[in-house]
Amino acid sequence: MITENKIRKVITILLCVGILSLSIWLLLSPKKNFSENENRYLTKFPVLSAKNLLDGTYTESLSDWLADHFPQRDFFVGLKSQTEILSGRKEIDHIYVAKEDYLIEQYAQPQNTQRIIDTLTRFYEKVSQAEVNINLMLVPTAVTIHKDLLPQNAPASNQLETAQSIYTATEIPKIDCTDCLFTGVSEGQLYYRTDHHWTTLGAYYGYLAFCAAKNLQPVSLTSLQKQTVTEDFAGTLYSKVNDYNHKKDSITVYTNPEDHLTVTYTDTGEVSDSLYNFDYLTEKDKYSLFLNNIHSLIEIENQTSSSEDVLMLIKDSYANSIVPFLAHHYRKIYVFDTRYYKDGPSSFLSEHKEINDILLLYNMNTLDTDSGIRGIY
């Protein structure tokens, strides 16, 4: 006869065996340093010390390590997200599950607008002493341009209001690409469905706004060589939502056959004749093919340009896909990522008198937290 005590013993033994097996699996299974699905480095196993044991940080770090290295973690994380989506949830980790298979990042209430205004104003005052034209382009993201795709009752975005307050307060001549983007929506896909960036076509419409403001004749898309280089792009929003069954994106690049470029990555010494590094197509972060990922300073020389103008471009990663269009109009472009360039572009400007144009280009979603803004002067 099976007694209640025997059942309890069997259950206890099974639980102990399960916990022991899981522990062995956790300890012996290969550990990854980087999660391609989430596009981030995983927590390292914490080093035990008296200090971190007493203040509790060791326990917290160990918990994070266990969460990051749990066996089959990607499967379970993806399963959780798919379950939430199937249950009708329309917002996961500040990402809207929107119509037409779009994942759209929320626009958080900005906290640092005045600091950004102060920084941009100081930079403008400093460079105004030189004979140089300066413009500011603040790019609205999909949460503004694709507002019609957001879930019902999603909070209204105020990106345009914030951008206008920055334009007005800094008095930097603006290049507002909003109308061009709204116009371009009917012409094709302007933002990736799985990533926070605009597509190359979206960047082209930003380029049209730039040309209109600078009285330049834009290069038509039909005169450029178009190439779809991948249809397997899973971007930053895909990684945050972790819905591994979500439809992936394609990436298209454009090349101007009239341009003969020399691209120098000053931090590594690499020299190329292309603005694209197609080696990144074999990796998770395929957007990095634009401008060969992240570099503090890139020098782009167009040997066949009919212009003698020189541009200083201070930017975030949104600008990476607009540079191939801008390159046609300049003899040289200096591209700065001030998150990593620590000497200050304003000092560089004083040493390079040939620069006659400056463009500051940032997207509105990451502007508030972009550490590079502080480094522009």
DSSP string, 133-189: EEEEEEE--HHHHTGGGSPTTPPPP-HHHHHHHHHHHH-PPB---HHHHHHHGGGS-
pLDDT tops 90 at residue 175: yes
Give the model's pLDDT for residue 98: 94
pLDDT of 79: 63
- Comparing CA positions, the residue from 319, 330, 249, 234 lying closest to residue 285 is 234
Chain centroid offset of residue 98 CA: 19
Measure the CA–CA gap between 150 and 91, rounded to whole angstroms.
10
Residue 256 has pLDDT above 60, yes or no: yes
Q: Which residue has the tokens 């000092």?
A: 347
**180 pLDDT exceeds 70?**
yes
Helix/strand/coil percent split, the chain, to 5:
45, 20, 35
Shortest CA distance to 132 belongs to which of 170, 165, 173, 175?
173
Which of 25-34, 78-87, 99-108, 111-120 has the weakest average pLDDT? 25-34
Q: Give SS3 for 258.
A: coil
pLDDT at 95 over 90: yes
Lowest mean pLDDT among 78-87, 201-210, 225-234, 326-335: 78-87
Q: Are the beta carbons of 76 and 70 closer than 8 angstroms?
A: yes
Which pLDDT value is given to residue 38? 52
Q: Which of 6-20, 52-66, 82-96, 116-130 has the highest mean pLDDT?
A: 116-130
Residues 199, 139 contacting (CB under 8 angstroms): no
Strands 270-272 and 261-265: antiparallel
Which residue carries 């403008």 as its tokens?
124
Q: Which range among 61-70, 224-233, 281-290, 335-344 shows the weakest confidence by mean pLDDT? A: 61-70
Q: Return the bridge partners of 361, or none.
A: 137, 315
CB 235 within 8 A of CB 192: yes
Beta bridge partners of 264: 271, 299
- φ and ψ at residue 221, rounded to 5 degrees: -60, -30
Q: What is the pLDDT of residue 10?
A: 58
Do 316 and 362 contact (CB within 8 A), yes or no? Answer: yes
Q: What is the pLDDT of residues 35-90, one digit of tens each?
A: 555 555 666 767 767 777 677 777 776 666 656 655 555 655 666 666 666 666 78
317: Cβ contacts below 8 Å, ≥ 6 apart = 197, 287, 290, 294
pLDDT of the residue at 74: 62
Range with the poorest average pLDDT among 51-55, 132-136, 183-187: 51-55
Query: What is the CB neighbour count within 10 angstroms for residue 317?
Result: 21
254-283: average pLDDT: 97
**Residue 160: predicted pLDDT:** 96
Would you state the pLDDT for residue 141? 97
Q: Grade residue 20 by pLDDT with cuts at 50, 70 and 90.
A: low
Mean pLDDT of the chain, nearest integer: 87
In terms of C-beta density within 10 A (0-12 exposed, 13-18 middle, 19 or more buried), how is residue 220 classed?
exposed
The lowest-confidence range among 16-30, 65-79, 243-257, 287-301 is: 16-30
Between helix 113-127 and helix 159-170 the angle, nearest 10°, is 40
d(CA 47, CA 63): 13
Distance between CA atoms of residues 373 and 315, nearest Å: 9
Cβ contacts of residue 202 below 8 Å, gap of 6+?
181, 184, 189, 190, 191, 321
Tell me the HSE value of 39 on the side-chain side, using a 13 A CA sphere. 18
**Which single residue is written with the structure tokens 């502007």?**
367
Q: Where does the pLDDT of residue 330 fall: very low under 50, low under 70, confident under 90, or very high at 90 and above?
A: very high
- Report pLDDT for 258: 95
pLDDT over 90 (residue 166): yes
**How sure is the predictor about 289, in pLDDT bands with cuts at 50, 70 and 90?**
very high
Please state the rounded mean pLDDT for residues 21-25.
52
